[in-house]
Amino acid sequence: MKSRILYTKPSITELEIRYATDAAANGWGDQCYDYIHRFEAAFKKHLNVEYAISTSSCTGALHLGMAALGIGQGDEVILADTNWIATVSPVVHLAAKPVFVDILADSWCIDPEKAEAAITSRTKAIIATHLYGNLCDMTRLLALGEKYGIPVIEDAAEAIGSVYHGKRAGSMGKFGAFSFHGTKTVTTGEGGMFVTNDPELFEKVLTLSNHGRARNQTKQFWPDAVGFKYKMSNVQAAMGCAQMERIEELMARKREILNFYRTELSNIEGIAINPEPQGMINGAWMPTLVFDAHTGITRERLQSEFKGENIDARVFFWPLSKLNMFSPVRENFNSWTIPERAINLPSYHDIESAEMIRVIQVVREQFSE
């Protein structure tokens, strides 16, 4: 049998192992936050933002940020129907109502026109999810936020390395949230980051993230509110520090992989791959192919073909409104139809050219049948 090609795995070197070992051996007592503070400082410098708070997940960062914005029962939050469940679950946990709108056919990100049409007097936020490293139309979304007085939240879980007209993904909205899951370009195993340029919001999230204990509270174990426990461990942060020292290398390699796929598949009509419009840099987290409807190529067929070649391939996210816990929004045409003819390609940092050629050959064969 041919060797297995994984769709993703992290890039871990001796540096990550050394830092994590040091944190495990020495990162206690007075040193229990050293790597955490170091990681936060490195990340906000990279992103060029004022404030960063490390969390146990991107989901936690989103939950904290939305709670700090006061989103709650009776409120509405607009987001793309194409999303992972992690983006909508904090909305539900806060007893707010998610309002699912369609995505654009080219970027697979939230359609600003549909987002505006969904705004009501109860709308308290718009979530802009930068899908697979693709960038939302932040100019239009931020203009909507300004026009209606609604915060725009950036779900940048998949967008480390993506740049929108000189600004890094996650740095433009009211707040941004990042993921360091083991599948991501930068990883801490599990983990996330809340970022913002708003000092008041930062203080609220900082308090909520520490069981509601404000940092200026002088009484020991005296919470000022009922908060959350979404902290990252010092050992995880140590890995993050090592990854941040390698971030340029990690981002560059992901872009190399996407460009390899793009170049090798450029002569085949009927395939769309992660776009990179003028003035933008695609962080290339997950190279994704969407096949034109007329090709007749389906998700199930692709999965079967890849499995036959011992290649892992992920499916495009299902529309959230198709899941059993939500009501169907079938008018979200792109969100409901694109996943039926799309696939995520293997893209781990150490993937070799010969392995990518194997992946590409499977795709080519779909057009020769």
**pLDDT above 70 covers what percent of the chain?**
100
pLDDT (mean) for 67-80: 98
Q: Could you give the CA distance from residue 13 to residue 6 in angstroms, rounded to a whole number? A: 18
**Please, which pLDDT band fits residue 114 given cuts at 50, 70 and 90?**
very high
Show the beta-strand stretches assigned E in 275-350.
280-281, 288-291, 314-315, 342-344
Per-residue pLDDT, 328: 98
**Please, which pLDDT band fits residue 1 given cuts at 50, 70 and 90?**
confident
Q: Amino acid identity of 199? A: P
Q: How far is CA 250 from CA 139, 286, 305, in A?
A: 28, 13, 30
Per-residue pLDDT, 181: 98
Q: Could you give the CA distance from residue 25 to residue 34 in angstroms, rounded to a whole number? A: 13
Closest CA to 63 of 168, 175, 216: 175
pLDDT (mean) for 75-90: 98
pLDDT (mean) for 47-51: 98
Flag whether pLDDT at 368 surpasses 90. no
DSSP class of residue 55? E
Helix, strand, coil shares of the chain, percent, nearest 5, are 40, 15, 40
Q: Could you give the CA distance from residue 60 to residue 206 in angstroms, rounded to a whole number? A: 12
- Segments making up each domain of the chain, as ranges: 14-245, 248-366
Cβ neighbours for 297, distance < 8 A, ≥ 6 positions apart:
270, 291, 341, 366
Q: Could you give the CA distance from residue 88 to residue 172 in angstroms, rounded to a whole number? A: 20
Mean of all residue pLDDT scores within the chain: 97
| 131-173 residue pLDDT tens | 999 999 999 999 999 999 999 999 999 999 999 999 999 999 9
Q: Could you give the CA distance from residue 240 to residue 19 in angstroms, rounded to a whole number? A: 9
14-245 has which CATH code? 3.40.640.10
Least confident of 53-57, 92-96, 210-214, 254-258: 210-214
Which comes out higher in pLDDT, residue 197 or 216? 197
| 227-239 residue pLDDT tens | 999 999 999 999 9
pLDDT (mean) for 182-207: 98
| 258-284 residue pLDDT tens | 999 999 999 999 999 999 999 999 999
Per-residue pLDDT, 369: 61
What's the CATH architecture for 248-366?
Alpha-Beta Complex (3.90)
Per-residue pLDDT, 120: 98
